[in-house]
Amino acid sequence: MSMNMHQKDQIGATLIIFLVTLFVVILPFLNLSFLLTSLLFLTFFAFIILQINLRWGFFLFLILRPILDFSSEMPLFEVGKISINLASLLGVMIISTTLLRIPSNMALLKKAPLLKYWLGFTLILILGTAISFNKTTSISELIRMLTIFSFFILGFIVTRTKKDAFQIAKVILISTMIPLLVALYQLITDSGLTLSYQDVPNRLFGTFAHPNLFAFSLTFSIALSLVMFLVSKKSSRKWFYGLLLLVFTFFLAQTYTRGAWILFVFMILSAGFLKLHKLLVFFVVIFFALYMIAEPVKDRVNSITTLSPYSSISWRFNLWQDAIVYAKEAPLLGHGTGVAEELIQERRGLQLGSPAPHNDFLKILLENGIVGLLAFVAIFASLSKILFSYFLSEIRSKKTSNLSFLVLIFLCFALGLYAASFGDNVLKATALQWSFWAQAGGIMAIIRKK
């Protein structure tokens, strides 16, 4: 056993030396800006830490992903037709690390809830890549989905105690800080995204590629700050997390992302009805105040119920009707992993607006057919069932542990995530998906033991 450990250390040290040498040799040929070079150094440093200490490297990757989201449109180099950016490089690093860790944790992973559903969905994604009309796009999407699966696996592996599960939550909150500071700068300098055709002023996006991606990540930070507020015993910590909760909510409002607002409202309402009745009353007052005071917020909310021919709701309905027709052409296995946008653009053109499906279930149906959709739904259905069963067992035992608060809020957030996925591209929010499934892995590890 000691010999095996010694051999693993030697292999790890050799790998690190090789990567450092390769990095030093290749870097001068990339011709990158100072910002990208600095972020590349930081990414490489995180990968070294990941090889030395899985837990701390895992945490560092969670913190880095939101910071690097904007770089998804800034390629470092190309491998064939595939463009590699910092975010995708981070993904390749996490997949390779996960694959190396699986053999030594096989006995543990066999007991992981949801694993068989994730494996089934992954096999369907691989099949979808094989039959795709655009292999390059499909490979990129397959790799992205594998990074999400990897964070579920690593979250499960690194979590041994309830403290570990809450530590993941704290790291996710930390990961929001730098995007929040950048969003504050955008708010002060009026340098956010302004959509003149929708009359939406200064939409904040932080370090993310789009305000919607920032907004969905903020909703998860709101959920976790609420958890930490509920479980904190010291009044100073309660004040801190309560203030953090309000700050996140304020910045969420400034993104003007209705899908994220729906997710937030759904989470609060469901948590309020299930257990947190005082919280429900408090946030109903907050929602009403924001609606009455902030005119842009009122306009965005009103537009949800406005079914004029030019509203975004009517546009979505038209898009979905067309997309369902395309899905019927390949109902069983779909057109290929990750090709939904390309398919819609090819058939509808850009003159009718964004080719993104704005419905994750429809996206999966288009790309991987009915088989893929059933596998996708099975993951979320199984997750919800496990979380709800645990929450019911806590109620029956008349106990209110810290973990029960985490499970409750996470369950409500997950249900809200499903609801938002019917009207937005939530699956495309990679930073949120990394955090969500890392936390899911941690929670599943503790529930399995209980």
pLDDT of residue 371: 97
Q: Which pLDDT value is given to residue 100?
A: 86
CA 40 distance to own-chain centroid? 22
The predicted structure's pLDDT at residue 3 = 45
Question: Token pair of 72, please?
Answer: 């998804």
pLDDT at 4: 59
HSE at residue 79, side-chain half, CA atoms within 13 A, is 9
Phi, psi of 201 (to 5 degrees): -90, 140
pTM for the full predicted model = 0.89
Q: 203 - beta bridge partners?
A: 193
DSSP string of 129-176, one letter each residue: HHT-S-HHHHHHHHHHHHHHHHHHHHHHHH--SHHHHHHHHHHHHHHT
Which positions of the chain have pLDDT values less than 50? 1-3
- Which of 127, 150, 135 lies closest to 375, judged by CA? 127
Q: Which long-range contacts (CB under 8 A, 24 or more apart) does 317-321 make?
A: 318/352, 319/344, 319/348, 319/352, 319/353, 319/357, 319/358, 320/357, 320/358, 320/359, 320/362
Q: Are 129 and 367 in contact (CB under 8 A)?
A: no
* Token reading at 435: 């955090």
Say if CB 16 and CB 48 are below 8 A apart: yes
- Going by their DSSP bridges, the two strands 77-79 and 82-84 should be labelled as antiparallel
